[in-house]
Chain A
Amino acid sequence: MKKLSIVLLAALLLLTLSFTAAAQDEPHPLAGQSINMAILGIGGWVPSGLGVEMANDLFVPYAKENYGYDVTFSFAESPFESLFQRAAASLATRSNEYNIIISDSQWLGAFAEPGWIVNISDLIANGIPEMGIDPQPGFDLDVFSDVVRTTYQIYPDGSDTIWGLPQEGDVIVLYVRKDLLLDPDERAAFAARYGFEMPETFEDFEALTMDDFEKMAEFFTRPEQDLYGTVMQHVRTYDFQTMYLYPFMFSMGGDIWNPETREVWGVLNSEINAQAMEWNKRMVSYQPPGALNFGIPENVDAYTQGKTFSAFQWAAVGLSMVADPEMRENTLIVPPPGFVREDGSFHRIYSMGGQPWVINSFNTPEQMRVAVDFLNWWYLPETQLEFSRRGGNPTVAETVNDPAFVDINPWNRAYKFMIVPENARDFWHEPNYAEMLAAQQEGFTAFVSGQVTDAMNTLNWIACQQQAILFDNGRTEVAPPAECADIALQ
């Protein structure tokens, strides 16, 4: 009897072990299949390209080894200014042409409101049961700072609903030529002319004000030597002028709307914002000819060709800004200058760049599962570190807080310094984002180009336009005021 019991126990044990083993070896639902995925991203934008490059280089073998399926990633790309239209037009037809989209942060509302992209909060809590996808707690990321979460993940503003996952973090940083900055003769000449020393180190630049920087820009503006003090971006295309004007407005104490009531009138058209526009326009005089038509590539060209002493440029473009080893050695990448407000306080609030991943709601179950697998892989520490090594800007706390992180790329220290709520800020994530942006790009570029000369009237006109857009689309109960009927961009 005892023998029988032992035999039965052994049999039971074997049975349990075999079941456990079977459960552990349960093949991935897509094992043996081949799936084609398409990622839509920004054309010519290094971080977007890196995402797809890493998907093909690293995730494809990873998926084969761990999940047993074959996957290929194709990259559909459009420039910044036409990517939104391409994505929206495709999603509006409920197409799964693009399975994962590298969206711009401000598009979250436009994509989320009609239900075109997957609600990540739902995915975290419930998975997608109808597709057999389990809850994904791994997507509840521990990101480096709250501004990462509010910029790339959340819609509506102030809620906890996650719609996107950060692909590339980005902020404006300042690229400075060391050969000019550290040249003893230049430093002495500058000190003699302006009565103070130019900053020299990263820490010095942390305390630099825009007033003082303007003097540096003026000092190095030497058209006869084909050298200019700095370079920004003022082109009307997409959001370029906006992104380079907002730091003046935000840092000087201006705002662009009330996110709760969605009032633009009375907030955007403030005296402080008018002053910010004047200052931003004044900075054009320290930039190379044609700067009013400069976007990202022109900015890169101006700096890398040695035409400017410094450049206000995205950290994401670091790879292009210091592609040349000599340029890499000769460039100091630091936080951009701050602004001293009337009350004497010092503020540095620059525009957030960067993009989140969003998942197409109309994916087939197979595509959805691969998208989930891919994004889970993307946030593995080793993947994030590799992304940084290849020139990307990760946002996951573990990676950014790694002591080695700041030394991986020359811009990483400035990037880490800037991508915090005190130093960087995003703007509306409204469904009417594109329309609101088009109105202010028209107004801002009309002013900076000199087509119109009254900053306050320009702000009034933009505020009227944006208030009308929000009101007409039922996004606010605040109608544009009656005086808008008499305000024209002139």
Chain B
Amino acid sequence: MKIIKVFMIGACLLGMDVFLHELAPGNLWCPPLLLFFAVWLGTRQPSLACLLVLWMLTILEDGLSSTPVGTGLARLGTLYLLSGMVAQKLSVQRTFGAVVLGASTCVLDLICWAILARLGFPDMALNEKLSTLMLPRLVLGATCAPVVFWVLDRINGRSASVDRVSGLRLDASKSR
């Protein structure tokens, strides 16, 4: 049941993400909600089931945004695993941690995207695109990510079970 709930939350965020991009096509200031979801999932629910949920969602994202299938998971899967590793070093439940995490994952996402583009689409004018996207993504990551994490925590009802000192989930500690 829990994993279905996580999938539904992700699907809603994906829907909102696509909706926002349809609403303002080409707008650089649309928040990458699925990216925030992947990072949130990596810091709160680092499990194989969640990775599979993310895989399904990224396939849907690729389909909905008409990009080659696999692009989404290559970026977001990497970030999911990285954020899972970072979570033990950084208190992502605190605002500062969430801001840093949001901004850095947005930049990392761009880097992943650049590597992918360099491998798969060498003709693309990458430098111009990256420089255009960098500032909006940094700002969006720093401002929107903490809000999205907070909302997702509330929705998932797991905020209470988080150790605010260590920033790690209690159930995750137990699982270790």
Do A and B originate from a single complex? no
Interface of B toward A, CB cutoff 8 Å: none
